[in-house]
Chain A
C-alpha cells in the first residue's frame, strides 16, 4: 500500500514536470516572453506536486503507529495495567491481527485485534485520500502560477538551496545522534553506579552483574566493586603506548626518509606500498595478531624462560603499531615537505650536513605538525577495536607487564554488547558509559590534533 502510494507520487512528480514544461512552450508560442527556461516551469510544478505529498506521507508514517496504539489501548486505560503489560497486550493484538499469534486468544484481545485492523484500514484509506487531495490542491495552485507566467526559477533555486543546506546538517545530526545515544544510557548508568566508583574503582567484572533476575529490584550493593573502570582505562592507554612505541620510530623515520632522502623513484613505489598497511581491514590485523604474533611471542618467551600469555598486550599493541605506521609516516611526510626550502638552504649554507639540518632545523620547524600526526595516531590506537578483541585478553587485569593480557575500553564494549542486550541493564549501560568516555577522549585528542596541524599549516602558507 505504502509502496504503491509512494510510486504514485513519484510518477505524478515526473508527469507534472512534463506538463509544466509543455505549458511553458505554449506560453512561448503565444509570443510572450518567458520568465525562465522552460524546464524551470517543469521543476516548479514537480516540486509543488511531490514535496507537500511527501511531507504528509512521512508525517503520517511517523505518527500513525502511535495514534493507532493509543486508540487501541484506550479500551484498557481504566483497568490498572502497567505500561509493560499494556505493551505486551498491544504486541499480542498486532500478532493476532497478522494471524501469527500462537498463545491463548482471549475475547478482549480478539476485540482489540478487530479494532486494530479497522483502525489501520481507516488510516490507510484516509491517508490515500488526504495525500491525493493535497496533490490536487498544490498542483492546481502551482499551475495557476505558471499560467500567469510568474517567476519560477527563483523559487526552484531557493528550494534547491534549502535541500543543500539540509544535507549539510547531516554531519551535525550524526554528532547529535552519537551524543544522544550515549548520554541517556550513561546517565542511567551513573544513577546506579556512582561516578566515583566508575572512575576510581579498580575491579571490573561486569559478568557479576549479569547473574540476576531481571524482575528483581536493583540492588546497588550488588554492583559495588563491579564497574571500576581503572583497569580498563589503564589497559587502553598501556596498549596504545605499546602501539606508539612501534609506530612512532618507524613511522617518523620513514616519513623523514621519504621526504628528505628518497629518490623520486623510491618514493613513487614505497609510499603507496606503506599506505597499503592503512587500507588493510583491522579484523585482518586481529587475525594476524591472534594466530601468528601471539603464539610466536609465547614461544619466544618460553625459549627465554619467560612466562608469556598467548594473548599478551605486546602482541596486540605491536600489531596495532604496524597498523598506525602509515598514518604517522604520510602525515609527517606531508608536514616535512611543506617546510619552506629556504630553511634548508640556510642550514646547508652554514655547512650543516643533511641529517644535522633535519635534526636541528626541519624537525623543530615541523614539530607541531608531527605532534598533531602523533596525536591522531594515539586517537586511532585508543579507538581501535578488532585487534584488541581478537588478540588481547577479555578479562580486565590491572597490570603493566606487556607479557600479560589486559583489556581495553573498546574490547569491553564488544564483549558486553555481543549477542542480545537488555536495555536498562546496568551491564549494557556500562558499555555505553565506556563508549561515552571513549568518545570524549578521542574527541579531545582530535580537536587538539586538528588545531595544531591547522595552525602549523597556516604558519607556512
Chain B
C-alpha cells in the first residue's frame, strides 16, 4: 500500500517535471524562431552593403567623344560617351569578336557611360589621356565576386557566360576588381537592375507617409481620447463609439486598403500611388491604437490632480487642458510612436492604393508617386534576379533598424518622463 502511494507520488512529480519542460521548450522554440529569423536575414543581407567595382582603363579620346581639345562645360555635358565607354570595355580582350564584345559590355551596369562622364566632368584635363575608372559591375558578377553565385552550374543555366567569367577571373587576378561600401544603395532610387537599385525612393515614400499619418492621426486621436475619457457622458452613444474603436483596432489591415481604394481614390479622386493617400489610409489604421494608448494614460492620471485644479476654481476644460493632458503626454507619445512603428511596417493597404508601382525617381513631396520600405521589400522579393535577394535582406535590416529605434524611443519617453503615481 505504501509502495503504491510512493509510486503515485513519483508519477505526479514526473508529470510536474514534464509540464515544466513543455513550458520551457515552448519559450525555447519561440526564441529559437526569433534567432533563426534574425540570423537568416543578417547572413543573406550583410553583403548588400558592399558593391563590386571593375577598374577599367578608359582612353578619353576627344575625337571619339566628338568634341575639340578645349571644350566648354556644355560641350562636355553633351559629348558622346557611349563609344569610348564601349571601346574601353571591348579593349579588355584584344581578340574579342563582336559577340564577345557585347558580352564584355554586359559585365558592367548600363550606368557605365554616366560613370565615365562624371569622371571627366570632375576633371576636364583628362581629355586625350587614359585613366582607370571604377565601373559598377553587373549584378551577376557582383554575386560571383561575393561568392553567392553557383559557378558550377552548366553554362546555359546561368546568366554569366564562361567567357565573361574568364575575363572576370583575369581582372580579379590583376587586382582590378574591388569591393567598396555600397553608398548607392542608400542614394539611388529603385531600378530594374539589381546593381543599381537603391532604397532612396521608398525611404522617402515611407517618411512622407508616416508624416502624413502622424499629422492626421495624432491630433484627432488625442482629441477623441480627451473627449471620451474626460467629457463624454456615459450613454449608449459613447458605448457605441467605444465598441467601434475596439473593433477597428482588430480589423485586418487590408480592409483599410479597400477603404483607401474605394473612398479616397474612387470618390475623392486623390492622386494614386502617392504617400498622401498612403498616409491617410495608415492614419485611419493607427487612429484606434493611439486613442487606446491616450485613454489609458489619461486614466492613469490620479483624480486628485483634477480635484485640486477644480478646487482652485479652474473650469473642467482648463483642468483638462492645463493639467490632465500635459501629465498624460508621455504615455500618449510613446503609444503614438508604437502606432507609427506599426504603420511603418504595413504593406497590404499600400499595395491596394497603388504604392507598388515601379518608381525610379526620388519623390520630393507627398504628392509624388512613391513606394515605401515594406512595399520595396515585397517588390524586390518578387523579382527573380539573384542580386535582389541580398537587397531584400538589406532593406529588411534598414526597416528593422528603424522599428527598433522607434520602439526604443517610445520606451525612453515612457521611462524618463512618465510620472509614477502611488
- A residues sitting closer than 8 Å to B (CB atoms) are 153, 157, 160-161, 163-165, 167-172, 174-175, 177-178, 180-182, 184-185, 249-254, 256-258, 260-262, 270, 273-274, 276-277, 279-284, 286-288, 290-292, 322, 325-326, 329, 353-356, 358-359, 376, 379-380, 382-386, 389-390, 410, 413-414, 417-418, 421, 423, 431-432, 435, 438-439, 442-443, 446-447, 449-450
Contact = CB atoms under 8 A, between A and B. Distances in A.
Nearest to B285: A174
B259 A414 contact: no
Chain A residues touching B, majority SS? helix
Nearest to B261: A417
Contacts, number: 259
A287 B244 CA distance: 33
B15 interface: yes
Interface stretch (B54-62, B74-82, B127-135, B250-258): B250-258
A282 B396 CA distance: 11
A276 B34 contact: yes
Interface in B295-335: 315-317, 321
A413 B407 contact: no
Nearest to B36: A292
Contact of A286 (B262, B356, B378, B407): B378
A383 B250 CA distance: 9
A274 B31 contact: yes
A392 to B, nearest CB: 14
A174 B41 contact: no
B270 interface: no
Contacts of A288: 37, 40-41
Interface of B: 12-13, 15-16, 18-20, 22-27, 29-31, 33-34, 37, 40-41, 44, 219-221, 223-224, 226-228, 231-232, 238, 240-241, 243-248, 250-259, 261-263, 266, 284, 287-288, 291, 315-317, 321, 341, 344-348, 351-352, 356, 374-375, 377-378, 381-382, 389, 392-393, 396, 399-400, 403, 407
Contacts of B13: 353
Contacts of A273: 31, 34
A181 B263 contact: yes
B400 A284 contact: yes
B218 to A, nearest CB: 11
Nearest to B26: A253
A157 B317 contact: yes
B14 to A, nearest CB: 10
A172 B341 CA distance: 24
B224 A353 contact: no
A410 B41 contact: no
B389 A291 contact: yes
A282 B258 contact: no
Nearest to B382: A390
Contacts of A421: 261
Contacts of B243: 447
5 contacts: A175-B244, A181-B259, A279-B345, A291-B392, A446-B251
A376 B250 contact: yes
Contacts of B22: 253
B381 to A, nearest CB: 5
A385 B41 contact: no
A443 to B, nearest CB: 6
Contact of B246 (A181, A253, A413, A450): A450
Interface centre among A170, A274, A382, A439 (most CB of B within 10 A): A170
Contacts of A180: 262-263
Contacts of A329: 30
A413 B254 contact: yes
B23 A443 contact: no
A359 B101 CA distance: 75
